[in-house]
Structure formats: C-alpha cells, structure tokens
Amino acid sequence: MIRFSPSPVSRMPETTARGRTAGSATVLVMTLAGLILLVTSGDQVWSRQRVPPPEPSRKAWVSFEAETQMVRALELYRRFAAQPQPPPLPGKTTLRAGDMGQPVADLRARLALTGDLSERGRGDSYSFDQDVEDAVKRFQARNGVEPTGIVYGITQRLLNVPLQTRVRQLELNLQRMRDLLPKIASEPKYILMNAASFELQGIRNGVVEVTSRTIAGKRATPTPVVSAKVQALNTLPYWHVPGTIAKAALIPTIRKDPGYLYKERIRVFSSFGGEEVDPASINWWGPEANRYVFRQDPGPQNALGVLRFDMPNKHIVYMHDTPMKKLFQYHERAVSAGCVRLQNFWSVADWVLDGQDGLSGAALQQRVEAGQQSTVKLNRPVPVHFIYLTAWVDNGVVQFRNDLYNRDASAFDSGEDVAARPSGLTIAP
C-alpha cells in the first residue's frame, strides 16, 4: 500500500507574531543570498530561516519495483478522484498556524483526502493547528516546494490541482518509466538526470551509488529528453558561447556594459578558428555584431566551472560545474539554457572514472588547482539519460513535481518563473 507519511519534516523556527485571520495579506521579501524570508501581515513582522532542498533520493526513480509502485499509486489516485472533491482554495489565500475559518476547513478536507492529514490529526475542522501545519509540510515536501507549513502562492495552486489531473500525470509518467526500462535493463552502470526534480542519480546494478542536485533548463530553453554516453571529462574547459546565447544575451549585455567581456574573460574572434578581434573595434549596435564568435577563458569564473562532462548528442547539451553555486539552495532550479549543472560534480566524476588509470575525482581536482587543462577519455563510456519524471513513488510516498515544460499538458500554472530571479551571472549554458 502506498503510504503518505514521508520522513518527519523539521519544524520551522517559532515566529515572533502570528496572525489569526485566514487569508490575511502576506508579503515575502528574499535577501540576495536567499537565506532569510521576511513575512509581514499588517503590523506584524517575523523572519524565518529558509529550509534547504533535500538531498536526492537513494531509491532509483526508474526500476521494475518503481513501476509496480506507480501502478499502485495510480489505482489509489483513481479512488481519490472518484470521491467528492473539496472546494478549491480562493486565489491569493494565505493560511498558517493559528488561522480559523472556512478556508481552513476546506484545506483540512483536501489534505485528509490525499492522506497528508492523518486520522489522528482531524480535530477541530476550522482550526489551523499543529497537525495541519505538519500536513502542509508533508504535502509541500512531496510536491518539491519548500516545506514552510504556510499555504500561499504555489502551495495554494498545487493544492487546487484537480485529482483527475494527478491521475493523468501518473499515467503519463508510468508510461515514461516503461519506455525507459528496456534501455537501462541492459546497462549495469548509468546516470539518470531528472530535469523535473533537478536531481541526478548514478546507478550500478540497480543501486544508487552517487547523487547530486542539478540545475536544468528554464521554461524558454528546456533541457531535452536525451540518451547519450559520457565519453570524456574536461578539466578547466573553454566555453564556446553558442550563437543563440550570444545573440539573445551576450551582445545585449555588452551594449549595456562595455567592460563585461573583460570582467568575464571572454574573447572575441572573427570566426571559429579565426583571428582574435579587439572588442573596442566593434560596433556592438550594428548588425555586424552578430557575425563574431565568443570564447570564455578557463577558470573559476567560466560558465562551465572547472569540469565538463563530454557526452556527444544531437542537442549539444552536457553536464558541467558552475560558478553560480548559490542556486543549488533553491528548491526549483530551472535557470540554465538547457545544459545541466551539477552540485556534486567531483563525486560524479569520481564515480564515472571508477579508478581508471589510477585517476579519481580528487586527482582531477589537483589538476585544476595546478591550472592544468586536460581531457580524460573514458575507457568505458557511461550511459546517461536526461529524463522528465513529474511523478514517481519514493519509499512509498507519491511524489509530484511542477510540469515546468508543459510536457504533461497540465491545466494549471504554478506561477513564478524562477529564471527571472537575479543570479549575478546571467549568461551561461
């Protein structure tokens, strides 16, 4: 039986003030570092520490066991969808511990229907008590959003997703699993990168041996579903700026900040393999600006970071390090131009190398520290699959994720496009 009681979510720090009226206005202010949220309601103000995203699961997303669990989850959600549905929560609603009223009763009914609110916690139907707060955190955690215990914004919209939509989502993702299973059945060692959950698993003989948070493509430049093989590792790589990124982002940035190329150590060339051109000699406002090609020097400022995973494919996407490491502290990490950035890139590199020629992730790190560019070709290329799972079962808990790329034909909009957040360096693959 599928259960709906994930590992207990740590409770948020106590607030210094609490509103009592359901639906009161709330304003969220985020610091540049993304660490503190300041919440205000009327004259009341309190702050809380952001909850970091969880580490990726050590349970393989795709396996014959996972397929069986998905079938059971689908049966369960079909039963949920056949029951009378609570009314949707009104738009721009904010609910939190201490609130009272009909919106809280509707919230309770919705959480009880999907099992997030246990039988034990079904007390005063109009009170947002500790049991409801814990249930909201459980719901948020299994939907991939920060478990604050507060209902507003994306949490409110996710709660309002019709259960029949969830049934369809489970059906689509069950088929995605079944399409992938024959590919990985013959592969003893492979990588899965789920663009919908922003996570990676390195799997050997069905066991997850290495994981990493990832950053995937934004809505406008989605990470494709692709199967390829990691054939080499590049330390201190150059970044050859794709023409699409140069035209859409780099050239407009140069027009605003003529010193940008110098600061980011980006060189201009007449063509691929052509002569270097002095940026000061170019009319960046004229059509001829689009004729040039750009290459960023190696180093920690490089958009690829200090390590690139070479995996040739028709989409020209790959995995790499990144200088924008603070972005891994967000739950939704859809900010790239389609390539995939890894948080634990040294660990993944070590796992990929698997001791080849006495090399390890630590040995590659030493090369980087010594300023040594190198390419290590793998004797045994490692299969890698970029997948798109917006629903699966993890240790008995049904997980859903935002259909960021609208591949599920979702009928709801999750709201914020995280690619619009300020991130310092905005030009990257």
Q: pLDDT digit string (tens) for 369-413?
A: 999 999 999 999 999 999 999 999 999 999 999 999 999 976 455
The question of whether 320 is a catalytic residue gets the answer yes
Tokens 């080849």 locate to 356
Give the lowest-confidence range in 82-96, 117-131, 354-368. Answer: 117-131
Task: Measure the CA–CA gap between 342 and 361, rounded to whole angstroms.
Answer: 14
Q: What is the pLDDT of residue 426?
A: 56
Residues β-bridged to residue 227: 385
String of b and e for 63-82 (b: at least 16 CB within 10 Å)?
beebbebbeebbebbeeebe
Tokens 């502290």 locate to 329
| CA atoms within 13 A of residue 340's CA, in its CB half-sphere | 32
Q: Is the dihedral of CA 377, 381, 387, 389 positive or negative?
A: negative
| CA atoms within 13 A of residue 201's CA, in its CB half-sphere | 18
Q: What is the pLDDT of residue 3?
A: 56
Determine contact, residues 2/116, Cβ cutoff 8 Å.
no
Tokens 């489970």 locate to 170
Task: Measure the CA–CA gap between 405 and 195, rounded to whole angstroms.
Answer: 10
Determine contact, residues 117/86, Cβ cutoff 8 Å.
no
Q: What is the pLDDT of residue 323?
A: 96
Phi, psi for residue 69 in degrees, rounded to 5: -65, -35
Task: Measure the CA–CA gap between 292 and 270, rounded to whole angstroms.
Answer: 5
Is it the case that residue 12 has pLDDT exceeding 50? Answer: no
String of b and e for 370-391 (b: at least 16 CB within 10 Å)?
eeeeeebebeebbbbbbbbbbb
Per annotation, catalytic residue among 240, 320, 331, 385: 320
CB atoms within 10 A of CB 425: 11
Is it the case that residue 46 has pLDDT exceeding 50? Answer: no
Q: How confident is the model at residue 10 (pLDDT cuts 50, 70, 90)?
A: very low
More confident residue, 245 or 425: 245
Calculate what percentage of the chain has a pLDDT beyond 70: 84
- Provide the token pair at 395: 């240790």
Average pLDDT over residues 323-348: 96
The question of whether 339 is a catalytic residue gets the answer yes
Determine contact, residues 383/190, Cβ cutoff 8 Å.
yes
Q: How confident is the model at residue 250 (pLDDT cuts 50, 70, 90)?
A: very high
Residue 318's Cβ-count burial label (10 Å; 0-12, 13-18, 19+) is: buried
What is the radius of gyration, based on Cα positions, of the chain? 24
| Cβ neighbours of residue 310 closer than 8 Å, sequence gap 6 or more | 230, 231, 232, 233, 234, 318, 375
Determine contact, residues 12/148, Cβ cutoff 8 Å.
yes
Q: How confident is the model at residue 123 (pLDDT cuts 50, 70, 90)?
A: low
Is it the case that residue 2 has pLDDT exceeding 80? Answer: no
Strands (E), 10-55: 27-30, 36-41, 44-49
Task: Measure the CA–CA gap between 202 and 192, rounded to whole angstroms.
Answer: 7
Task: Measure the CA–CA gap between 208 and 197, rounded to whole angstroms.
Answer: 16
Q: What is the pLDDT of residue 93?
A: 87
Task: Measure the CA–CA gap between 82 and 102, rounded to whole angstroms.
Answer: 23
- What's the count of helices (H) and strands (E) in the chain, helices before strands? 10, 18
CB atoms within 10 A of CB 85: 14
Task: Measure the CA–CA gap between 144 and 137, rounded to whole angstroms.
Answer: 11
- Provide the token pair at 170: 């489970």
pTM: 0.85
Q: What is the pLDDT of residue 387?
A: 98
Q: What is the pLDDT of residue 47?
A: 55
More confident residue, 223 or 426: 223
Determine contact, residues 189/203, Cβ cutoff 8 Å.
yes
Could you read off the pLDDT of 298-335 as tens digits, one per residue?
998 999 999 999 999 999 999 999 999 999 999 999 99
3-state secondary structure of 339: coil
Per annotation, catalytic residue among 240, 315, 331, 339: 339
Is it the case that residue 35 has pLDDT exceeding 60? Answer: no
Tokens 């590992």 locate to 7
